[in-house]
Structure 1
Amino acid sequence: MTNAIAIAGRQIGADFPPYIIAEMSANHNGSLDAACAIIDRAKAAGADAIKIQTYTPDTLTLKSDLPDFQITDGLWEGRTLYDLYQWAHTPWDWHKPMFDHARQADITIFSSPFDTTAVDLLEDLNAPAYKIASFEAVDLALIRYAAATGKPMIISTGMADQDEIGEAIAAARDGGCRELAILHCVSGYPAPAEDYNLRTLADMADRFGVVTGLSDHTLDNVTAVASVALGAALIEKHFTLDRSGGGPDDSFSLEPAQLEALCRDSRTVWQAMGEVDYGRKSSEIGNVKFRRSLYFVKDLKAGDVVAADAVRSVRPGYGIAPRYLDQIVGTTLRRDVAACSPVLMDDLAVSVLSQA
């Protein structure tokens, strides 16, 4: 299994904090200023990267009103595909100022190309990685073309079955990609949490041997945060300044406070996962003294035999461990002891350790 990839110097894998991608998509709503503001807010929230989409309506579909090209349900009901992509696309002449702005803000920016001309544009901008969208995961020629750049690649797997995922991975490898990640994804907008079947993440990592993450289209952060505990090394969520902004993707996107919470909480989960460790933790050291131990509950003299009613297991923990109680009962004292004093090995004429 591939343990890690790197994008713009940031290591991504199970041994590193989850890589958080804020997907701008169409949430600029036709404003370059809004696009730059989204970049700034993603950085402020703690995201590792901002991702955009590089297409025009003509690179995605045909300008047709025929039934095949009509959207008849869902968020975009009543539009044609061409109209939707005309509304949602990021103009190509915005790309350079957006890349420049992201670099000034010190946040990684890359894109999903939807055809070879988009890859060419992004190469001119020195994009550090490529993301293949779920709907394009079956476009093996596009995957090979992007892979030939030698850049790291992320492939979303929404709607793809095992064979199709395998074919996409093979195309990426054949094209020259050496750093590859795949994202478990449900291509519903929004998607219900129960559709995600997060246990699939571990199987994907084992089955395909690549870094694995989650592209999450649910309306909150619960699914994404939970995915970290199941091995997600990357998380992608749509991001907007205002969920009520009226754009194509606003309604199922995170707002700044939610993105900040995702960045914080997913990294907390990753830290909490740690490793298998039964040892005493640093935060517990100060509380060891409050564990139970054995204490005398009567005044006794040297030479007395310790009866069962003379000792108890109580807090604090300055005496010997309660597991020695049976061995202590019936032993003889070497010295006087007072009630409420801890039972110590030196109090006893015979070491109970040799009897344990």
Structure 2
Amino acid sequence: MSTLIIAEVGVNHNGHLNEAFKLIKEAKSCGADFVKFQIFKSENLVDEQAEKAPYQQKNMTDTSNSQFEMLKKLELSFEDFVKIKEECEINNIRFMASAFDLESLNFLLNLNCDYVKIPSGEIGNVPYLREFKNCTSKIILSTGMSTIQDIEFALEMLNSVGVDIKNISLLHCTSNYPCDLEEINMNSMVTMRKRFGLNVGYSDHSNDNAVSNTAVAMGASIIEKHFTLDNQLEGPDHKASLNVEDFKKFVKSIRKVEKILGSSTKKPTNSEMETKRYVEKKIFASKQILKGEKFSDLNMTTKRSKSGINSRDWDLVCSKEASKDFQAGDLIEIE
């Protein structure tokens, strides 16, 4: 099955609907399967005194340290998101979103999307998780900043309100923007798959395409990557995102890994079957063998040949007697 690639716009539209529309078109041109947004009401999400996270301060030139002011500039209305979902349908790319407060979550769940993503910061939010009681969408649970016990708690909570656990995929990530390679710990994605028996994926906040390629090679069925029109734009996530040209390369590299992975069935390829004809060993007489003489290790050998008895049938031939005389170098024939 092909890896689901999510172009994570997040708030990289900078609070402008027309920029969101541009990002949708470009995500489609890059080959993404989904384009994802973040839905929130700033007054429901943060206290007005809340400060920006360290990575937000680092990635922005704005001297204000207010997280509320930053988010308010990045906020789109519910009406905007109805239009965004319609624009996704027009451009034949699937819409996805994560919600960061209860009002936004209820709005999102009523959009009847194929997938809904639970952000890492909500994995222990009991009232938030309980709102999924009537969710008909598949769920992607992001697990940044979490332990196995945190994930288990969230799954139990979702299951307690009627969510079918089989409809949940777990997304490994490191919640730092960008994150260092030493922080990625990709083996924990495999641990989650083994522990919970669910599909897993990876939300890539690194600056190296090799990370997502590694995730796919290790079994990720979903890959998410932040996406922007311009890395130099003002905003918390632009610097940890891929621009259009880089996202195209990113998608191509993942599709290349999928080709390399191929099938789990071990069998010769068509090209190998052709080569096999020229390298397989057949059974030959290593010395003169007279009619009635028994074939054995002492009078036979193997050589490459297009025709003849395959060397895998050596023991079968050894149980037979020669029906005619053979000279050294003759292909062995049996009746």
- The TM-score range, normalised by the shorter chain, is 0.7 to 0.9
Matching residue's letter, 2:237? D
Q: CA deviation at 1:112?
A: 0.6
Candidates 85, 88, 91, aligned match of 1:102: 88
Task: Figure out how many residues of one structure are paired with residues of the other and give that number.
Answer: 323
1:89 aligns with 2:75: yes
- What's 1:137 paired with? 123
- What's 2:223 paired with? 235
Contact (CA 8 Å) 1:296, 1:311: kept in 2 or not? yes
TM, length-normalised to structure 1: 0.77
Matching residue's letter, 1:145? E
Q: Structure 1 pair 86/231, CA: closer, same or farther in 2 (3 Å)?
A: same
- Rounded to whole Å, the distance in 2 between the matches of 1:336 and 1:206 is 59
- Rounded to whole Å, the distance in 1 between the matches of 2:52 and 2:22 is 33
Give the superposed CA RMSD.
3.5
Matching residue's letter, 2:32? A
Structure 1 segment 1-356 matched on structure 2, within 5 A: 16-64=1-49, 69-71=51-53, 74-76=58-60, 78=63, 79-178=65-164, 179-270=167-258, 272-275=261-264, 277-293=265-281, 315-321=304-310, 334=324, 343-345=331-333
Q: Structure 1 pair 175/294, CA: closer, same or farther in 2 (3 Å)?
A: closer
Contact (CA 8 Å) 2:112, 2:136: kept in 1 or not? no
Structure 1 residues without counterparts, runs of 5 or longer? 1-15, 352-356
- Rounded to whole Å, the distance in 2 between the matches of 1:209 and 1:278 is 24
- Rounded to whole Å, the distance in 1 between the matches of 2:36 and 2:271 is 39
Structure 2 residues without counterparts, runs of 5 or longer? none
**Farther-moved stretch of structure 1 (106-115 vs 127-136):** 127-136
Q: Percent of aligned positions with the same letter in both sequences?
A: 26
- Rounded to whole Å, the distance in 2 between the matches of 1:70 and 1:112 is 20
Q: Structure 1 pair 70/222, CA: closer, same or farther in 2 (3 Å)?
A: closer
TM, length-normalised to structure 2: 0.81
Q: Structure 1 pair 165/259, CA: closer, same or farther in 2 (3 Å)?
A: same
Contact (CA 8 Å) 1:50, 1:108: kept in 2 or not? yes
Q: CA deviation at 1:318?
A: 3.5
Contact (CA 8 Å) 2:309, 2:333: kept in 1 or not? yes
Secondary structure (helix, strand or coil) at the match of 2:58 reads: coil
Q: CA deviation at 1:295?
A: 8.7
Q: CA deviation at 1:146?
A: 3.3
- Rounded to whole Å, the distance in 1 between the matches of 2:60 and 2:94 is 30
Q: CA deviation at 1:165?
A: 1.2
String of CA shifts for 1:308-353, please: whole Å, max 9, x gaps: 9x9986555435456759x99xx989467797x8x3426xxxx8xx
Q: Structure 1 pair 297/207, CA: closer, same or farther in 2 (3 Å)?
A: closer
Contact (CA 8 Å) 1:301, 1:333: kept in 2 or not? no
Q: Structure 1 pair 49/136, CA: closer, same or farther in 2 (3 Å)?
A: same
Matching residue's letter, 2:11? A
Q: Structure 1 pair 71/133, CA: closer, same or farther in 2 (3 Å)?
A: closer
Matching residue's letter, 1:74? K
Matching residue's letter, 2:215? S
Matching residue's letter, 1:56? K
Matching residue's letter, 1:236? E
Matching residue's letter, 1:48? D
Secondary structure (helix, strand or coil) at the match of 2:151 reads: helix
- Rounded to whole Å, the distance in 2 between the matches of 1:124 and 1:282 is 50
- What's 1:8 paired with? none
Contact (CA 8 Å) 2:60, 2:235: kept in 1 or not? no
Q: Structure 1 pair 259/318, CA: closer, same or farther in 2 (3 Å)?
A: farther
